[in-house]
Structure 1
Amino acid sequence: MSDTPVQTSATVLTVRQVQDYHAITLVAPAIAERFRPGQFVALAVGGAHSGRLVRRCFGVYEVKSDYGGTVELVFADTEPGTAWLAGLRSRDQVDVVGPLGRPFRLPRDPVGCLLVGGGPGGAALFALADTLRRRGCPVHFLLGGPAARQVFGSRMANRIGDSATVVTGDGSMGERGAVPEVMPRVVAETGADVVYACGPTSLLRSVTRIATEHGLPSQVSVEEFLQRTGACGIGTCMTCVLPVHGEDGVTRMVRACADGPVLRGDRVRWGDLGTIPFDALGAPRVLSAMEGGSS
């Protein structure tokens, strides 16, 4: 199977509202057959004659062979581009490029996996969960949000997970609180060996910290960062770069779309997102007053 992404005109099968989000199912067999959990797709919005040139990038919730090969995405209606997507109807056409980016790395042997999600980005955990379970891995979910309507997939998590913990800020679903508050307890109770996370950048930062404190490797999908900063989805525009330090200790600016969206959580310099750290490879050199001024 080729890993090369394809550009295709996908047919809308359904668009439905799920709590505060929308789920769109597209018939796109060429993308469905190439997809691996953690990858994303980039959708053109506004129609053929639109002036909206920037694609919208979304992780994939589910891929099915039914109906000729479908791809389902979950998104929040937050701006004109996503509003256009939410207004699509069955049989409408959408230009899609995918699957894009680097997928989650899967364990060689069955190990306990903790999947942590928040908001619509957490939808990408479910395709991963399906693959992990087929490999014999115990799968535990930890899902959170401000309120019940902002927690995606709690019923599915309870159905397919070996355990599922839900936490909301207002206590309207599951426990009252926030994911970072309960994660240490969930790690201990589940005996997790590895942590996977999708959701808001602030959540990924906290999840990475807690996983590291417990000596656990973490893989995070920086999809939200990509959505906020990215434009092309294929690594050419360089707007979604973020600082990551390598095994050699050198910080490099990597592209969330092409080098991610899945990254090792402990390698991301979370406090420096949106900047080019002075010690990053290739960072602009700032001249001191002595170097740049007159004698």
Structure 2
Amino acid sequence: MAAQNHFHTGEELEEPDWFEKALSGVEGEAIKTIKSFERGEFPLSETDRWAFSYYMALQSARGPDTRKTMEYLHASMVRLEIGAGGRKNVGRWIRRKYVVEPSPEQEDRIWEEGIQPGGPPISSTNLAHIQHLVEIAQELTSYLATRPWSLVRFNRRSLITSDSPVSLIRQPNDEPWEGVGFATAWGIAFPLTRKLGLLMSDPMVVLGGLEAGDPRVQEVRSSVLRGDIDRIEAGTTAMEKLFNEHAAYSAREYVYHHPEDAGFVPEDLPEPNLINIRAQGGLMGMDFDGEPLFHPDEHQEGHDDVGEPV
């Protein structure tokens, strides 16, 4: 990601690099927090816990995979709209979407590009990407802050990281095909340095089966945010493998490690993948032959969506 120039600049703004400057400020504070972890200053105050959780949430959302996934899903939905409407209704779709009168050549191009595998070529602006990742980071922050934290110190073994450094660890009884999210993960791992990792464990364990409306739930939440349940533990071989295998599995394009730590990189690395969610099956996966999938009601026949004759 660092090799992509102007990935977070907004040319539409008076100060195009404002977000890069904001990120630098957040990262600067995070570096101070990590250095305090190295000195054994743990747990954090509640204020610092929220700030560091937001930093981790940004690390999870800011990568090129977030942007590529957003563009892919947008293109998939456009493909469905165009394909389901059928070839004869492409002009109607263009008029409704862009308020222009298309030429026959434009209709042909939109149809061909629209129904191709993956949908039409769609690129989001840097500003749209920034707005999207900030929204995601804000939503994810609480899932990180409200988990019990374990600061894991390694002596002889080392940690690797990747271009997607926040790793989700699925529940032990989950099937391999089941998805895992920030709300449902057994754990969330974040390598801080070669010798220091942060493991955020399942908050449901500390709730002990309490129902959502039980007033004790808020008490437990407050206790977690104060760091009452946080701990520092010595890193083991099993813990190193847990961190490093999930770091490698979560990578989108690149795995990073110190030159001396090549031996800690798992052998079976995944293929590069910049799209986190695939729209498959049903209408999303079908081929379109030009015929509309749905027919308008009788009272709408002969008119498009804005009341123009067709």
TM norm structure 1: 0.23
Mark the structure with the bigger radius of gyration. Answer: 2
Which structure features the higher share of strand residues?
1
Which of 1 and 2 has higher RCO (CA within 8 Å, sep 6+)?
2
TM norm structure 2: 0.22
Which structure features the higher share of helix residues?
2
